[in-house]
Amino acid sequence: MQLALISLLFLYSILLQGLTTVSGRNEVPKYNINTPLRVLLDKDLTEIKIKSVLNTLFIKEDGANRWTRFPGIVTIKLSRSAQRILVNQTPFESSAIYLRGGFQHTDPVQYENNFYRGALKITKTKKGLLMTNIIPVEEYLIGMIAGEMSPFWEMEALKAQVVAARTYAVYMITHPKHPLYDLEKGTSDQVYPGAQSEAETIKRAVKTTQGQLLTLNQNPVKPYYHSRCGGNTESANFVWKESKASNASSVPCPFCKKFPYNWKKRLKTHEFLGLLKLPFESLKPFKVALVNRSPSGRVKEIAVETDSQKHLINSDELRQLLGYAHVKSTRFDIKIEDDQVTFEGVGSGHGVGMCQWGAQFLAKKGKTYQEILSHYYPNYHVRQPVVSLNP
């Protein structure tokens, strides 16, 4: 009995070793290249069609060891009572199943127009089917980096991007967004197009920085990055209320100014107030004031006010409500003329952490990825994980 308990504890500790990082204060995170990441691909689905590139799929139930062979195209849905997962009418008893595209875990499967290596995990939830891609972090990076930076950019800029993206993923493994997944495949985390966006340059950038992470006091951080800062990067605490995980500070970036990015967005006043969900009639006529700017020149807060009412809106919330694609950064001015509100700004993205266009400029000037990272993340260190990198 005691022996069984010890064996169980041993097994549990092995499992933990693969999945968690920090086992105590001031310890370098434990992480290896097989550490699996759970990326949310889609949720609340009634039906999923999966194809295999190699014309055959392998499926197993959660907890089982045996994979069963299926045809190259399957349709997955819930049974009428929503008790079971059905794959081409074959019922599965467990609440989740895994699929892969061949004998190897690297054989890709196709979902809609994207291809994914690793395994797909489909879980039955109260709202329908939820699908994640379970993939080792290093392989995830190969299919992800092109979603955030062009594979044709300088190698040292790509390596800096890889180290930042790897650290973000490892941070999310230890601080998952949801019990069923660590992070999402879209802009709310890191854009992950999948295996069709793999490139030789990206593979090289991942391999030559294998396992390297950014740490602060030897713990993994949440390293933000963005497209173009427009002159200075931004402190995380000016953008988000919950910014402790980042601890990013503002640094000068005259580099991206060489590729100026000016933008303008006009909205009708009723459209502007509607998107902000403010009562239009009671606020007319109104004025908008930039209440607060950060030391780096970004708008922190705006006030929308009439004689009797005043609404303060945080600029990140403003971007979210008006659309990140419309208000491209928080470095802007606002004008109200007739029935139009005009935003005129510079830069693209939230401005926190590494400026990608600045990184590209520095790489062109011969800076290494370590120099690029230490410029944009002055508080962080680039570290190798303590565990072996041998698979």
Residue 358 CB, shortest distance to Zn ion, in Å, is 4
Q: Choose which of 358, 361, 367, 369 interacts with Zn ion (CB under 5 A).
A: 358
| 234 three-class SS | strand
Q: In Å, what is the CA distance from 207 to each residue of 21, 141, 162, 192, 210? A: 21, 10, 10, 18, 5
Nearer to Zn ion (CB atom), residue 341 or residue 346: 346
Which SS3 state, helix, strand or coil, does residue 42 take?
strand
Whichever of 154 and 198 has its CB closer to Zn ion, that residue is 154
Please give the distance of CA 104 from its chain centroid, rounded to a whole number: 26
Whether residue 24 contacts residue 121, with contact meaning beta carbons closer than 8 Å, is answered with no
Stretch that binds Zn ion, among 202-210, 213-221, 250-258, 265-273 (CB under 5 A): 250-258
Judged by CB under 5 A, which stretch of 28-36, 39-47, 156-164, 251-259 contacts Zn ion? 251-259
Q: And the tokens for 111? A: 């979902």
Q: Are 191 and 141 in contact (CB under 8 A)?
A: no
CA 134, 136, 137, 140 torsion-angle sign: negative
Q: Does 355 bind Zn ion (CB under 5 A)?
A: yes
Judged by beta carbon, residue 176 or residue 378, the one nearer Zn ion is 378
Among residues 79, 77, 85, the alpha carbon closest in space to that of 49 is found at 77
Number of neighbouring beta carbons within 10 Å of residue 175: 13
Among 256, 327, 362, 373, binds Zn ion (CB under 5 A): 256
Both tokens assigned to 206: 């991942």
Please report how close the Cβ of residue 253 comes to Zn ion at its closest, in angstroms. Answer: 3
Q: Which CB, 143 or 358, lies closer to Zn ion?
A: 358
Task: Please say which residue, 164 or 229, places its beta carbon nearer to Zn ion.
Answer: 229
Which residue number, 121 or 319, has a Cβ lying nearer to Zn ion?
Answer: 319
Q: Single out the residue of 160, 253, 302, 322 in contact with Zn ion (rule: CB under 5 A).
A: 253
Size of the site for Zn ion (CB under 5 A): 5
Minimum distance from CB of 83 to Zn ion (Å)?
54
Q: Give 212's DSSP letter.
A: -
Q: Which is nearer to Zn ion, 142 or 157 (CB)?
A: 157
**Nearer to Zn ion (CB atom), residue 97 or residue 253:** 253
Q: Which stretch binds Zn ion (CB under 5 A): 114-122, 181-189, 347-355, 363-371?
A: 347-355
Smallest distance, Å, CB 304 to Zn ion? 30
Of residues 210 through 239, those in contact with Zn ion by CB under 5 A are: 229
CA 85 to chain centre: 29
160 contacts Zn ion (rule: CB under 5 A):
no
Measure Cα distances from 74 to 41, 83, 112, 183, 338 in Å.
Answer: 17, 19, 13, 26, 57
Task: Give me the least distance between CB of 32 and Zn ion, in Å please.
Answer: 34
Residue 346 near Zn ion by CB under 5 A? no
Asked if residue 144 binds Zn ion (CB under 5 A), the reply is: no
Structure tokens of 267? 């909205």
Tell me which residue of 388, 391, 387 sits closest to 30, measured CA to CA.
Answer: 387
Which amino acid makes up residue 258?
K
User: Are 357 and 150 contacting, i.e. CB atoms less than 8 angstroms apart?
Assistant: no
- On whether the CB atoms of residues 129 and 122 are closer than 8 A, the answer is yes
Alpha-carbon gap, residue 192 to 353, rounded angstroms: 20
CB of 335 to Zn ion, least distance (A): 25
Q: Which residues of the chain form contacts with Zn ion (CB under 5 A)? A: 229, 253, 256, 355, 358
